[in-house]
Amino acid sequence: MKSFVYVIKDPLGIHARPAGMLAKAAKPYADTPITVTKGDKTVKASQLMKLMSLGVKTGDEVTVAAEGPAEDEAIAAMEAFFKENL
Amino acid sequence: MIVLQGQGVSKGIEYGSLYFYHRTNTQVTQQTVEDTAAEAQRLEEAKAKSIAQLEQMAEKAREEAGDSAAELFETHAMFVEDEDYTGAMDELLEEGWNAEYAVQQAGEQFAAMLAAMDDPYMRARAADIRDVTQRLLNNLMGIVEGGIDADHPVILAADDLAPSETIQLDKSKILAIATQGGSGNSHTAILARTMGIPAVCGLGDALNESMNGHAAYIVGDTGELIFDPDADTLAALQVRQKAQQEQRELMRTMVGQEDVTLDGRHIKVYCNIGSPEDVDAVLTNDGRGIGLFRSEFLYLAAEDYPSEEDQFRAYKEVAAAMQGKTVIIRTLDIGADKQVEYFGLNREENPAMGLRAIRICLNRPEVFRTQLRALYRASAYGKIAIMFPMIASVWEVKECRRACQKVMEELKAEGIPFDPEVEIGIMIETPAAVFIADELAPLVDFFSVGTNDLTQYTLACDRQCNDLGKFFDPHHPAVLRALKMAADAAHKAGIWIGICGELGADLSLLPTFLAIGIDELSVSPTAVLPLRAEIRRSIASTCTLDMLNS
C-alpha cells in the first residue's frame, strides 16, 4: 500500500466541484482502490457523495492511500491532483 | 406602498410584473413489482436520459454563464452515477419495489446526509441531490417541466429554484428572481450573480401567489421587493435605475478598452480594495490591477494578532485571483483611532499624529516581520508589491528595506519560494515626504499618494472633524502643488507615481493629474469605468496646471 498525508488548502475544502473531479481522476484505477481518510472515517475516492459527506475543510489533514497493481501510478496521480486542486 | 424584505443575493434594480413559477407535482407511490429486471431496465433508461440532459445543460450553462456554472451540471451528471446513490436504489429494486420509490428513497437518504452537516455550504448541496432525484423521477414518469409562457420579461417568483430549473428557463424572459426560500449560497443566487440580474431570496410567506401579475420594483442591493412605491421612494428608485443604465452602458462600451488619452498617454487604472471578497468587483469592472489593498481587515476582524499563515492565505488568494496583474498591498495602517484592543495602544489626544501605521511596525519588529513574511511568501503566487504608509523620513524607508531584506534571507534559508523582485513603494501622505521626495525616490520603486491624509496634514484639517467644511479642501493649490513636487521627484529618479486616495476618482481633477504626469490612479472598483471613459476623452498635451494657482 502507498499513501500520503495532505493538508487541504482550498478555502472551501473538498466541496462538490473538486469532489467530482477527484472521483473522475480516480476512475482509471478501478483495480487499485484509492481511499481518502479524515479522522476515523474512510471513503473511496470514487464515492462522490460520501466524499462530500466527510466534510473536509480547509486546513484539515487527510490521508490518501492506494492499494493494488497500479498503486505507484495511482498515488502519484493523486498527489498531483491534490496539489493542483486542493 | 408595500415593501417585502428579503436577503439581497444579487445586485441591481428592475421593475416588472411578478410571474409565479409552477412546478409539476410528482406524487410517488410505493408499489411492489413482479418483473424486477424490467424495473431495473426502466431505471437504467431514466439514468441515461438524465445524464444526456445534464450534459446538454452543462453546454448551455457554459455558453450562458461560464465554466464554473457548467461544472455544476457535470457534477450532477456524476451524482446520477454515484455508486452509493445508485447502490441504494438497486437494493430497493432487488427487494421488489418500483423504481420511482427506489429513486425517491435514495434521494432523501443522501439529501438528509448532507443536510445534517455543520458546514452551510455542504448543507446547501442537499438541494443538488434533490434536484438530481427530481430529474430521475421526471424521466421515469415522463414529466416535462414547464417554462415561462409570458410574452414579456418578468420578475420570476418561486418558493425556491433548483439549479436545473434556473438554467432551463428562457433568460430573455427573466428580469430578476424573487424566492421565498434560498440563501446567498444557493445556486439561484450564484447563477443570478453570474448572469448579472438582481435576485432577492428568503422573502418567506409574504411572497405569495396572490401577487401573480402585480408590478413591483426589485432591489437586489437592499433585498427589497416594493409594490406601489410612494412618490419619494419612486423618485429614489428611478435615480438608481438611471445610474444602473449608465453603468451598463459603460460596461458595454468600456470593458476591455485601454486606459489611454486621445493623444496616446497611457494611465494605469487600478483599484482600492479592503478584503479578498472585493476582487470580484475589480474583475467585473475591469480594473487593471490593485493599487491599494488595505491589510487592516486582517487585524480589525481578529481578536489577536493574525498569524503569518492567515495573512499568507489572504494575500495569496488575492494575488492568485488577479492572475499576474499587479497587487499592491499596504502594510498595516492602524492607529489609536481604530479599535484594535490587542495592540494595547495608549489613548491619544490626536491619533492622526500619533503612534500609527509604519511607526507601530518599526517599534514592533515582530509584528512587522510576520506581515512581511506573509507578503513575501504570497509573492510566489502572483505579482505582489509592498507599500509602506505614513513615511516621513529617509531612515524609516531604509529600515523598512532592511526588514524586507532580512525576511527574504530567512525565506531563502528555509527554502520557501518568494519573488525576489517584489516592488517596494511608499505612500506620500505627509508634507515631510513631499519636501524630501527627491531623497526618497531613489530608495523605492514607486510612490503612491494618499490624498486624504496628505490634505489633512497639509491644510492642518482633521479628517474626523465634521465642522471644518470649506476649510478641508482637497482641491487646495497647496495639495495639488505637493502632488506635483512628488511627481517631479519621482520622474527625475525614474520611478512611477500614483494616487490611491479618494481624489483619484475626482474626474474634475483628471486634466490636472495628466498635466502633472501622474502615472497611475487607484480608485474604488465602481469608479474604474467612468474614469476610463473620461481618460479616453482627454487630450493630455492640452491639459494645464491652472489649478495649482489660487
* CATH code at position B164: 3.50.30.10
pLDDT over threshold 90, residue B167:
no
Q: How far apart are CA B524 and CA B508, in angstroms?
A: 17
In this complex, do B113 and A16 lie within 8 Å of one another by their Cβ atoms? no
Q: In the prediction, which pLDDT does B310 show?
A: 93
Based on the fold, state whether residues B245 and B294 are members of the same structural domain: no
Based on the fold, state whether residues B376 and B482 are members of the same structural domain: yes
Low-confidence ranges of chain A (pLDDT < 50): none
Residue with cell string 527627491: B438
Highest mean pLDDT among A30-44, B33-47, B366-380, B459-473 belongs to B366-380
Based on the fold, state whether residues B305 and B222 are members of the same structural domain: no
Based on the fold, state whether residues B277 and B391 are members of the same structural domain: yes
Q: In the prediction, which pLDDT does B45 show?
A: 92
Based on the fold, state whether residues B540 and B490 are members of the same structural domain: yes
Q: In the prediction, which pLDDT does B240 show?
A: 92
Q: What is the pLDDT of residues B311-333, one digit of tens each?
A: 999 999 999 999 999 999 999 99
pLDDT over threshold 60, residue B255:
yes
Greatest CA separation for chain B: 96
Find the domain containing B214 and state its range: 154-249
Based on the fold, state whether residues B457 and B528 are members of the same structural domain: yes
Contact assessment for residue A19 and residue B114, using Cβ atoms and an 8 Å cutoff: no
Q: What is the pTM of this model?
A: 0.63
Contact assessment for residue B495 and residue B243, using Cβ atoms and an 8 Å cutoff: no
Identify which of A11, A12, A48 has the shortest CB distance to residue B79. Answer: A48
Domain boundary pick from B223, B249, B275: B249
Interface of B with A (CB under 8 A): 68, 71-72, 74-75, 78-79, 82-85, 110, 113-114, 117-119, 121-122, 125, 128-129, 313, 317
| B184/chain A closest Cα distance in angstroms | 15
Contacts with B82 from chain A: Cβ below 8 Å: 23, 47-49
Q: In the prediction, which pLDDT does B303 show?
A: 86
**Percent of chain B whose predicted confidence (pLDDT) is above 90:** 61
Based on the fold, state whether residues B194 and B273 are members of the same structural domain: no
Segment B430-437 shows an average pLDDT of 98
Based on the fold, state whether residues B277 and B407 are members of the same structural domain: yes
Q: In the prediction, which pLDDT does B25 show?
A: 63
Residues 9-48 of A with CB under 8 A from B: 9, 11-13, 15-17, 19-20, 23-24, 46-48
Q: What is the pLDDT of residues B440-462, one digit of tens each?
A: 999 999 999 999 999 999 999 98
Segment B459-468 shows an average pLDDT of 83
Which of the 8 DSSP states describes residue B301? S
Q: Is B77 left (phi over 0), alpha (psi -120 to 50) or beta?
A: alpha
Q: Is residue B171 part of a domain?
A: yes
Segment B335-339 shows an average pLDDT of 71
More confident residue, B167 or B87: B87
Spatial CB neighbours of A66, under 8 Å, sequence gap ≥ 6? A1, A2, A3, A29, A32, A33, A34, A35, A74, A75, A78
Q: How far apart are CA B484 and CA B472, in angstroms?
A: 20
Q: How far apart are CA B387 and CA B448, in angstroms?
A: 8
Q: In the prediction, which pLDDT does B352 show?
A: 87
Q: pLDDT confidence of B146, banded at 50, 70, 90?
A: low
Based on the fold, state whether residues B398 and B525 are members of the same structural domain: yes
Contacts with B75 from chain A: Cβ below 8 Å: 16-17, 19-20, 48
Q: In the prediction, which pLDDT does B147 show?
A: 65
Kindly compute the dihedral angle of the four CA atoms of residues B331, B334, B335, B341, in this order, to the nearest 10 degrees.
Answer: -130
Helices B394-414 and B365-378 cross at an angle (nearest 10°) of: 60
3-state secondary structure of B26: coil
* Residue A29 bears catalytic tag: no
Q: In the prediction, which pLDDT does B277 show?
A: 84
CB atoms within 10 A of CB B10: 23
Kindly compute the dihedral angle of the four CA atoms of residues B405, B407, B410, B416, in this order, to the nearest 10 degrees.
Answer: -110
Contact assessment for residue B72 and residue B61, using Cβ atoms and an 8 Å cutoff: yes
Q: Identify the active-site residue in B187, B271, B361, B543.
A: B187
pLDDT over threshold 60, residue B528:
yes
Q: In the prediction, which pLDDT does B144 show?
A: 66
Q: In the prediction, which pLDDT does A85 show?
A: 85
Residue with cell string 514607486: B446
In this complex, do A20 and B117 lie within 8 Å of one another by their Cβ atoms? no
Contact assessment for residue A38 and residue A20, using Cβ atoms and an 8 Å cutoff: no
| A72/chain B closest Cα distance in angstroms | 25
CB atoms within 10 A of CB B369: 16
Q: Is residue B16 part of a domain?
A: no
ipTM of this model?
0.80
| A11/chain B closest Cα distance in angstroms | 9
**CATH code of B116's domain:** 1.10.274.10
3-state secondary structure of B172: helix
Q: In the prediction, which pLDDT does B145 show?
A: 62
Find the domain containing A68 and state its range: 2-85
Domain boundary pick from B89, B111, B141: B141
Our count of domains for chain B comes to 3
Our count of domains for chain A comes to 1
**Percent of chain B whose predicted confidence (pLDDT) is above 70:** 97
- 3-state DSSP of chain A: CEEEEEECCCCCCCCHHHHHHHHHHHHHHCCCCEEEEECCEEEECCCHHHHHHCCCCCCCEEEEEECCCCHHHHHHHHHHHHHHHC
Segment B63-81 shows an average pLDDT of 83
Q: Is residue B137 part of a domain?
A: yes
Segment B39-58 shows an average pLDDT of 91
Q: In the prediction, which pLDDT does B280 show?
A: 86
Q: Which of B475, B485, B477, B471 is nearest to B439 (CA)?
A: B485
Segment B513-518 shows an average pLDDT of 97
Based on the fold, state whether residues B93 and B225 are members of the same structural domain: no
Segment B145-169 shows an average pLDDT of 77
Q: Is residue B104 part of a domain?
A: yes
Size of the A and B interface in Cβ pairs below 8 Å: 53
Q: Tell me the average pLDDT of chain B.
A: 90
Contacts with A47 from chain B: Cβ below 8 Å: 82-84
Q: In the prediction, which pLDDT does B260 show?
A: 97
**CATH code of A19's domain:** 3.30.1340.10
Q: Is residue B23 part of a domain?
A: no
pLDDT over threshold 70, residue B257:
yes
More confident residue, A45 or B148: A45
Q: What is the pLDDT of residues B212-231, one digit of tens each?
A: 889 999 999 999 999 999 99
Q: Is residue B18 part of a domain?
A: no
Q: What is the pLDDT of residues B267-297, one digit of tens each?
A: 999 999 988 888 988 998 999 999 999 998 8
Q: What angle do CA B345, B350, B353 make, to 5 degrees?
A: 85
pLDDT over threshold 90, residue B337:
no
Which pairs from B35-42 meet CB under 8 Å and 24+ separation?
Answer: B36/B93, B36/B94, B36/B96, B39/B93, B39/B98, B39/B99, B40/B90, B40/B93, B40/B99, B42/B99, B42/B140
Identify which of B68, B78, B83 has the shortest CB distance to residue A20. Answer: B78
Q: In the prediction, which pLDDT does B468 show?
A: 82
CB atoms within 10 A of CB B307: 13
Q: Determine phi and psi for B12, rounding to 5 degrees.
A: 125, 165
CB atoms within 10 A of CB A28: 12
Contacts with B71 from chain A: Cβ below 8 Å: 17, 20
What does R_g of chain B's alpha carbons equal in angstroms?
29
Question: All 3 cell numbers of residue B439?
Answer: 531623497
**CATH code of B381's domain:** 3.20.20.60
Q: pLDDT confidence of B340, banded at 50, 70, 90?
A: confident
Contacts with A13 from chain B: Cβ below 8 Å: 119
